[in-house]
Structure 1
Amino acid sequence: MKRKFLLLVMCLLTFHLSFAQNTITVQGRVTDAETGQPLIGAGVVVQGTTTGAQTDADGNYTLSAPADGTLTFNYLGYKATSVPINNRTSINVQMETDAATLQEVVVTGYGVQEKRDVTGSIASVKSEELVRQASQNPVSSLQGKVAGVNITNTGQPGASPQIRIRGTGSALGSADPLYVVDGTFVDNLSFLNPADIESIEILKDASSAAIYGVRAANGVVLVTTKRGRSGEATVNYNGFVGVQRVTNQLEMTNAREYAQLVNEKNGSELITTNLPSTDWYDQILRTAMIHNHQVSASGGTEKVTYSASAGYLNQEGIIEGNDYRRITARLQTDFQINENIKVGYNGIFYDYKSNDIPGDIFYQAYVAPPVIPVFKANGRYGDPVDFPVGNFANPQASLDWFNQESRGQRLTGNAFAEVNFLQNFTFRTSLGLNYGIDEYRNYRSRDSLTTVQFASRSLLTQQRSKTNMWLWENTLTYDKTFGDHDLTVLLGTSAQEDKSNFLTGFANDVEFNSDANLYLDLGDPETVRIEAGGNRATFVSYFGRVNYSFLDRYLLTATLRYDASSKFPRGERWEYFPSIGLGWRVIEEDFMSNQNIFDNLKLRASWGRLGNNNVPSNIFILRVATDERFGAIRNGVLYPGWNINTTTPSTLFWEVVEEFDAGLEMGFLDNRLTVEADWYNRKTKDAIFGVTPLGYLGLGGQILGNYATFRNRGMELIANWNHDISQDFSYSIGANFSRNKNEVTDVAIENATFYNGNLPVGGYQVSVTRVGDPIGSFFGYEVEGIFQNEQEIENSAQPGASPGDFRFRDQDGNNVIDERDKRIIGNPNPGFTYGINTSFRFRSFDLQIDIQGVADVDVYNGNRNVRYGNENYDKDFYDNRWTGPGTSNSYPSADLTGRNLDPSDYYVEKGDYIRIRNLQLGYNLPESVVSTLKMRNLRVYINAQNPVTWFKYNGFSPEVGGAPVSQGIDRNVYPLSATYNFGVNATF
């Protein structure tokens, strides 16, 4: 018996020694693969066991594990990673973010919510997607990534893109969304460095946006900047340098071709065809440099966390002399006073300077005859007086003569205090500030450059404007889970004041010594003139929201906001804006437990009312302006008369949007495939609309009132596929598609039509807004063909035409072509927008390809349409023009005069395009190299932005924005350029 016991002990000891020999101590560090920051509290488990550990404040871990075992690393928001031990005692892991998981929590305005519990339509774009594009404006980075959002970019340095969420819902008010940065309302995001942003949420439907009431009619863009985390300090550098080049440069006729066209137009050899040729686009365009740098630092303790950054952007324009410089600085700190009290602040400073160019320089280059040289042999500028072509500006002289500088500073900040009490209550108070100063100085010297570019006296113009906004908000939140019920109740108040003022001065005869000596008091005192103005608006709001969930499957969101705005008459300043959203997480039902098709299935529907107060303050006050019809002559002197130029009813009030949205969310194949679809019907009621008064009333301008109803109806579809094939290779493919139809459905005054009076093209009105058609529709004649001979003219409704002229359709058959024959000839509101976004990772390499496009949209080619004499022609016209019977039935002759310039569908072209929005290849250097360089992470990349765009429009770009009633009219658009960058992202 004793022998058997001894044998058993020896066997157990042998087994223990054998196990001990195969068990080792493993230690290491877990960090974010993108930023290199430590991941605190990440789980490390020995695969197949319950043995594990968690990382500390520095991301470090230590545990015992079999030498031939495998470690699995898990962290919320990151992809699980498994690593074989292979007898190693040190294993460092860089974890990648999981895009699908990151979407689970979204910012909803005055709070956050899990994506699964959202009943409205909210799109979220995280920082990882923003920094992978070398964009200078955060809004540009969203193009093609969000369904239902149409973004129109411009190539002008420092300019803000135009954004439309679910169509255009206003004719005379602003159609821009509300921007909210860390709880502070701002006008745009130009002051933000994209690398400072943690996430951007877009509230698209009325249910999600109703918490912002009267400001939310055009949607809401919520921006959350990065905040510090407790742990070791982390320093990050993100920068790139590159070049910009114009793409799809419009080809114009050369001197020989131009002379041929002018001679055809005049019927004689007005210009010889052997003159030297100037390509004015080549002359004024250049390859421009751009570089952007940002350094950030973050860290902290359990009591204090911080995040600070500084950025510098220097961007040259593709036009000589045009450049933009931006400096940004941000500081954010949170203080955890005790377990229940937290305070903090976030401040962003922005300073910019721009050397500007003439606003019409692209149009000058378009129309300038190529027979005019840049310089004469004597060194003076080429002058149209030397050629019988008319009065044209020399574009190079315009650039050299133009002397304008814009600059400004802005401070946007927010301070808050948050108190938790009675376990389930949280009170938060915050004060936001948005303060800005903008200045510009324009100096026109006394000079004589050409016969049309001269000034007998110098003129100095200076302007200084200031904006100041404060926003004080208080919220009380109750959050409680009891049994199968989850309840969150939010109550809040908001008070806001917006103030702005400007001061503009003019003076002649200021002598130019240097930019530093340009002051109004150095000019002729008798010519000094000062103009000033200002604006003030106040807002008061009360709001509340209830989020309720039962059994984690039946969802309710109810919101009510009570808003007042001083922009409207006293009796019309208050309004209620309610909304309700319902959701059903079908996947949680018992009858779904045994199916293998859906991993997620959710239905949702919402309804809500929003307001649009983005109209000029005191718009209801009658204003007067000079009117030549009311002039009077006294003692031989003409005294101009004055008249009311805009009349409004005393009860004018804000526009109201009502929207219904229905959505479906699905997940398949372990949620590798997710699909989301929305259908919406969005009505703008009581829209401010202008009606031309009857002549006998003696009024000028428009009669404004809440006269119209607009509708945007459409659908959105989003599909995403994510797949980790192996530890070495993973990829994702996302696609979004949107369809929107815009229409004016009702106008209170029968047959009323609003003509856009702000942007006539060649003296013609080319767009109208009326019942049954989209806002800002193009309006003109339909071209049936080209008159080939005199006989066709004799038998037509245009007896005064000539062969080669347009033959307009006689719509009413009365044998007269007049205003009654005009029809809607185009729609500038995009019908379809779409985007395809892909990313691939193979070991240390990553590749991103983004494609974006617009379809079913028209552009009015105002460049072709504006002709007063012998302007240049584009090459497409030269190749396709009518030169005699049978040569063309779609393009007219070179004699583009008279009725050939009437608005017609000849000038309306398709604005559809497909663009490679972004193409980026990156490489993360090996850990051994990074450690040698004393870094945590180092990524280098090459990037091509807008390298290729496919379209048929006869212009630089079909991407043409504009105000609602004049959008899509191409008059001198600053074209988008292709940018090629090399960048570095380093973390220390």
Structure 2
Amino acid sequence: MKRKILLLVMCLLTVHLSFAQNTISVQGKVTDASTGQPLIGAGVAVQGTSTGTQTDAEGNYTINAPANGTLTFSYLGYQNAQVPVNNQNTINAQLQTDTETLQEVVVTGYGVQEKRDVTGSIASVKSEELVRQASQNPVSSLQGKVAGVTITNSGAPGASPQIRIRGAGSALGSTDPLYVVDGTFVDDLSFLNPADIESMEILKDASSAAIYGVRAANGVVLVTTKRGKAGEATVNYNGFVGVQRVTNQLEMTNAQEYTTLVNEKLRIENPDASLLPTGLPSTDWYDQILRTAMIHNHQVSASGGSEKVTYMASAGYLNQEGIVEGDEYRRLTARLQTDFQISENIKVGYNGIFYDYQSENIPGDIFYQAFVAPPIIPVFEPNGRYGDPANYPVGNFANPQASLDWFNQESNGQRLTGNAFGEVTFLDGFTFRTSLGLNYGIDEFWNYRSQDSLTSVQFASRSLLTQHRSKTNMWLWENTLTYDKSFGDHEITALLGTSAQEDQSEFFTGSVNDVEFNTEANLYLDLGDPETFNINAGGERGTFVSYFGRVNYSFLDRYLLTATLRYDASSNYPRDDRWEYFPSIGLGWRVTEEGFMQSQNIFDNLKLRASWGRLGNNNIPANIFRLPVNRAARYGSIYNGVLLPGANITDVVPSTLFWEIVEEVDLGVEMGFLNNRLTVEADWYNKQTKDAIFGLTPLGFLGLGGQIRGNFADFRNRGIEFIANWSDDISSDISYNVGVNFSRNQNEVTNIATENAALFNGNLPVGGYQVSITRVGDPIGSFFGYEVAGIFQNEQEIEGSAQPSAVPGDFRYRDLDGNNVIDQRDKTIIGNPNPGLIYGINTGFRYKSFDLQLDIQGVADVDIYNGNRNVRFGNENYDKDFYDNRWSGPGTSNSYPSAKLTGKNLDPSDYYVESGSYIRIRNLQLGYNLPEGVVNTLKMRNLRVYVNAQNPVTWFDYNGFSPEVGGAPISQGIDRNVYPLSATYNFGVNATF
């Protein structure tokens, strides 16, 4: 037995030595055959084995191969090349471009298409563009890069940007697009690390989005994450560390200037009033609460596999401090993806993403507190206590520093998003795919307000503990059957599918007094006073069922047709109105494929396309069709000395309620010139929302305090989009690219069921002012108020005017109806918060191992309502611009009022409406790929370092921190001290092992 084992070992050793003797080390360089430019990341594999590698930043590779083997070289957009080793230690490969495979492939929903065959309006952003942005949220990376897409960022750590595709198409419903990550529907992309993304496609028109039916009215964002590829294992690291600083900090008045203004105000109100003393110390509250914040982000991934199994695993960590002391966000992401080729016809796989976040929070109104707090209040008194407004005759203001120190809240949450699939190919051209998606999330926070007395307005006689927990659970099961076949001059891809989905959510909020806070382990509601225990809980459940189909047809590779039909049902609507059809059709003509175009030398590509589609909006207020009953105490009655509860109907809904419907027409042209170095794409669209959910005010005698809601309105978004890109490789050492995009959109309410009806919103806390209106002929959420015709300079101007109660220094409002009375009938449209023009300029330049990227982004033809200036109860602080331009006596100003910003001066007017236009350097990055010798010494494949500046400079005229002000459609653009965007300066590393 021992002799047999010894013999077996010797045989194996002999085979091993024989193999080792026939295996040699091969190195070389892979370049473009026409330009000589190195191809970075080209695949090099030993034919017939799972051994493989990739080229580095210089196009170089090293691989072990049999001396009599064959190497296969591959690169996207190039023809594969096979080169026999023939005992050579150096093999250089030059790859030829492949005109057939060079076409960009885009994800279209339940499939992919070559860009040249797409008949709708789809924008695609690839991974290399995303990772160079150094953004924390993938959506932020799209800003300025996609025509027709408006993105509004917040500077709050971990906040998700607001995105709108081709304008706002709903008044009361959500305008967020549908996010689809690897086939699973999600609410946002905050759980994704941008380095994990392979590509993002934005389906903008109805034809391309109609495959998602009732969910697609606001557009669709498709996210495809990276997947493993066969070959040698590859490890990547992407990370950066940097600082964030506030830009365009709003300058407020100091103590001397503030005292001057308040005394002017007091003299106007009462000539005998006691004035504030001068010479008081000054506090800049913004300087007090703001800081330079740190940020660092790291992501490590490993991928590889064989012809049978491929995998990719990654882990990421983000730590982002806010620019306000005590604000911090931490995110941990982990992803695992594996594909199994069970047999030639069967493939299965899964993709799972886990996300965990923790954050330390700040008061939601801290920027408002810092804006209004008088500068004469010190941070601390000489005795060490917080500066108390009670010691200064200015009013009941909070001390912002005390608010930050007193506020004690932490949030955390987890999410698991995954998708598992099975795919079978059979017969000739048929593929059946089934997939199951899951999206499970938990969010929690606790808030503890201690028993304390910090100032006369910041005190609590009892402690208060509040806890909140919410849970969401979604599953999605989809099945598709695809037929893909070519018949001579005909190519057809047909798709049939079904979809079933269930969404569940529930929440619990509880509070109690008198919990003692020693550690977080003691924060339980049952440790407080049971008599103060308060609880609120609820939940929702929604189900969806869909059937869909699509046909892509091409004739002679020049005449294109895409037809889609989806049949959707949703439990969000009454039982009799739950089903609806959503059809679409797209046509394309590749003109350059025609015979009469072969002799021309102007166009390398010319394609005309037209599409029409019908979509639905399911994102309406929950349970809107159920009749609400209000059981407030005031509806009770006393009978025989006993209080009996009562109820009343405060909102009315119609007996029928159905989908918000969007119908859209899109006409587009795509062109390529000069060997496709210059590409141009333009679109015109007309997007109409029909039967939108809208609220009408009932007649007063009905006794209803709310609204009648139903399908009462129609809206329209109409516009143009233009994209031009130029790229050129001057030599193997120098290349550059320049891209420009812009879009113009006009939003309008085209119909409301009741004549002269309007929906008011945009409430401000002072006087309940409603500063926005939605009515026929104007954009959704237009600003509504008085036009200022100047400032009353003296008593003579007031006499006989329409404002007899005014005083010098007050606004003079325009009497639009000419009846010499200023009232509601003189209000008019004074601004539009819907951006009219958005644009971006994206450039890149490479010289040898250096690369430079500059992205510029801007918005024009948009207004902001400065609610910061408009919210005044008494002696709030003033901004420096007001101090410099105010009316302080006859002839001093005819545009800014006096310091007496009270009463009629606070009515909504165009004084508070300012331009929201801006232009910003969105991203500036300089990178360097380290030389091959250094990389080899470090045993790496490539190493790139870079410095990056994000949002370093923004040019705008608005009197606020930031001109990016979002909000719901009927209350957007109203600045109530938004969390300002900051500039971020990073140093980063991209490394491959």
* Counterparts in 2 of 1:286 and 1:95: CA distance versus 1, 3 Å: farther
State whether structure 2 residue 352 is matched by structure 1 residue 347.
yes
Q: Which residue in the other structure is 1:415 paired with?
A: 420
Distance 1:632 1:102 in 2: 78
Shift of residue 529 of structure 1? 1.7
State whether structure 2 residue 938 is matched by structure 1 residue 943.
no
CA displacement 1:325-360 (0-9 Å, x = unmatched): 000000000000000000000000000001011110
* Counterparts in 2 of 1:188 and 1:814: CA distance versus 1, 3 Å: same
Shift of residue 633 of structure 1? 6.0
State whether structure 2 residue 776 is matched by structure 1 residue 776.
no
Once superposed, what is the RMSD of the aligned Cα atoms? Answer: 2.6
SS in 2 for 1:624: coil
Q: Which amino acid aligns with 1:843?
A: K
**Contact kept? 2:46, 2:52, Cα under 8 Å:** no
Q: Which amino acid aligns with 1:928?
A: G
Shift of residue 37 of structure 1? 5.0
* Counterparts in 2 of 1:954 and 1:62: CA distance versus 1, 3 Å: closer
Q: Which residue in the other structure is 1:363 paired with?
A: 368
Shift of residue 291 of structure 1? 0.4
Shift of residue 642 of structure 1? 3.8
SS in 2 for 1:769: strand
State whether structure 2 residue 40 is matched by structure 1 residue 39.
no
Query: What are the ranges of 5 or more consecutive residues in structure 1 without an aligned counterpart?
Result: 1-24, 44-52, 64-70, 82-87
Distance 1:94 1:899 in 2: 77
Distance 1:973 1:170 in 2: 23
Indicate the percent of aligned positions where both proteins have the same amino acid.
Answer: 81
The residue correspondences of 1:761-800 to structure 2 (distance < 5 A) are 763-800=768-805
* Counterparts in 2 of 1:639 and 1:916: CA distance versus 1, 3 Å: farther
Q: Which residue in the other structure is 2:152 paired with?
A: 152
Q: Which amino acid aligns with 2:892?
A: T
Q: Pick from 448, 454, 457: which aligns with 2:453?
A: 448
Q: Which amino acid aligns with 1:719?
A: A
Q: Which amino acid aligns with 1:106?
A: V
The residue correspondences of 1:27-176 to structure 2 (distance < 5 A) are 27-28=27-28, 30=30, 37=41, 39-40=43-44, 57-59=52-54, 75-77=75-77, 90=90, 104-176=104-176
Range with greater deviation from structure 2 (200-209 or 271-280): 271-280
Q: Which residue in the other structure is 2:244 paired with?
A: 244
Distance 1:640 1:792 in 2: 57
* Counterparts in 2 of 1:596 and 1:614: CA distance versus 1, 3 Å: same
* Counterparts in 2 of 1:711 and 1:420: CA distance versus 1, 3 Å: same
The residue correspondences of 1:749-760 to structure 2 (distance < 5 A) are 749-756=754-761
Shift of residue 35 of structure 1? 12
State whether structure 2 residue 667 is matched by structure 1 residue 672.
no
Distance 1:642 1:864 in 2: 40
Shift of residue 269 of structure 1? 5.3
The residue correspondences of 1:581-730 to structure 2 (distance < 5 A) are 581-625=586-630, 630=635, 632=637, 642-730=647-735
Shift of residue 630 of structure 1? 4.0
Shift of residue 648 of structure 1? 0.8
CA displacement 1:291-315 (0-9 Å, x = unmatched): 0000000000000000000000000
Q: Which amino acid aligns with 1:968?
A: G
Distance 1:470 1:528 in 2: 35
SS in 1 for 2:52: coil
CA displacement 1:79-124 (0-9 Å, x = unmatched): 999xxxxxx9646789999999877100000000000000000000
SS in 2 for 1:647: coil
CA displacement 1:663-683 (0-9 Å, x = unmatched): 000000000000000000000
State whether structure 2 residue 961 is matched by structure 1 residue 956.
yes
* Counterparts in 2 of 1:908 and 1:878: CA distance versus 1, 3 Å: same
Q: Which amino acid aligns with 1:722?
A: S
Q: Which residue in the other structure is 1:970 paired with?
A: 975
**Contact kept? 2:42, 2:75, Cα under 8 Å:** no
* Counterparts in 2 of 1:712 and 1:987: CA distance versus 1, 3 Å: same
Q: Which amino acid aligns with 1:564?
A: A
Q: Which residue in the other structure is 2:232 paired with?
A: 232
Q: Which amino acid aligns with 2:950?
A: Q
CA displacement 1:724-783 (0-9 Å, x = unmatched): 000000000000000000000001111111111666565200001010000000000000
Distance 1:199 1:597 in 2: 31
**Contact kept? 1:715, 1:740, Cα under 8 Å:** yes
Q: Which residue in the other structure is 2:894 paired with?
A: 889
* Counterparts in 2 of 1:839 and 1:95: CA distance versus 1, 3 Å: farther
Distance 1:944 1:93 in 2: 38
**Contact kept? 2:45, 2:53, Cα under 8 Å:** no
Q: Which residue in the other structure is 1:17 paired with?
A: none
Distance 1:306 1:579 in 2: 37
**Contact kept? 1:630, 1:640, Cα under 8 Å:** yes
Give TM-score scaled by structure 1 length: 0.92
**Contact kept? 2:250, 2:959, Cα under 8 Å:** yes
CA displacement 1:227-278 (0-9 Å, x = unmatched): 0000000001110000000000000000000000000000155212200000
Q: Which amino acid aligns with 1:266?
A: L
Shift of residue 516 of structure 1? 2.2
CA displacement 1:6-39 (0-9 Å, x = unmatched): xxxxxxxxxxxxxxxxxxx985265999997551
State whether structure 2 residue 328 is matched by structure 1 residue 318.
no
Give TM-score scaled by structure 2 length: 0.92
Q: Which residue in the other structure is 1:18 paired with?
A: none
**Contact kept? 1:762, 1:865, Cα under 8 Å:** no
**Contact kept? 1:36, 1:987, Cα under 8 Å:** no
State whether structure 2 residue 303 is matched by structure 1 residue 298.
yes
Shift of residue 75 of structure 1? 2.6
SS in 1 for 2:608: strand
Q: Which amino acid aligns with 2:289?
A: I
Q: Pick from 846, 860, 877: which aligns with 1:872?
A: 877
* Counterparts in 2 of 1:666 and 1:100: CA distance versus 1, 3 Å: farther
CA displacement 1:952-983 (0-9 Å, x = unmatched): 00000010000111000000200000000000
Q: Which amino acid aligns with 1:316?
A: E
Q: Which amino acid aligns with 1:155?
A: G
SS in 1 for 2:326: coil
* Counterparts in 2 of 1:96 and 1:865: CA distance versus 1, 3 Å: farther
SS in 2 for 1:766: strand
SS in 1 for 2:663: strand
State whether structure 2 residue 826 is matched by structure 1 residue 815.
no
SS in 1 for 2:243: strand
Shift of residue 58 of structure 1? 3.1
Q: Which amino acid aligns with 2:980?
A: P
Q: Which residue in the other structure is 1:907 paired with?
A: 912
**Contact kept? 1:643, 1:700, Cα under 8 Å:** no
Q: Pick from 287, 290, 294: which aligns with 1:289?
A: 294
**Contact kept? 1:881, 1:894, Cα under 8 Å:** yes
* Counterparts in 2 of 1:664 and 1:340: CA distance versus 1, 3 Å: same
**Contact kept? 1:381, 1:450, Cα under 8 Å:** yes
* Counterparts in 2 of 1:639 and 1:374: CA distance versus 1, 3 Å: farther
Q: Which residue in the other structure is 2:58 paired with?
A: none
* Counterparts in 2 of 1:278 and 1:100: CA distance versus 1, 3 Å: farther
Shift of residue 644 of structure 1? 2.1
State whether structure 2 residue 728 is matched by structure 1 residue 733.
no
Q: Which residue in the other structure is 1:374 paired with?
A: 379
Shift of residue 55 of structure 1? 12
State whether structure 2 residue 469 is matched by structure 1 residue 469.
no
**Contact kept? 1:759, 1:966, Cα under 8 Å:** no
* Counterparts in 2 of 1:101 and 1:446: CA distance versus 1, 3 Å: farther
**Contact kept? 2:103, 2:116, Cα under 8 Å:** no
* Counterparts in 2 of 1:636 and 1:842: CA distance versus 1, 3 Å: farther
Q: Which amino acid aligns with 2:784?
A: F
State whether structure 2 residue 846 is matched by structure 1 residue 851.
no
CA displacement 1:495-535 (0-9 Å, x = unmatched): 00000001111110001101221111110111112211000
Q: What is the total number of aligned residue pairs between the two structures?
A: 943
* Counterparts in 2 of 1:491 and 1:300: CA distance versus 1, 3 Å: same
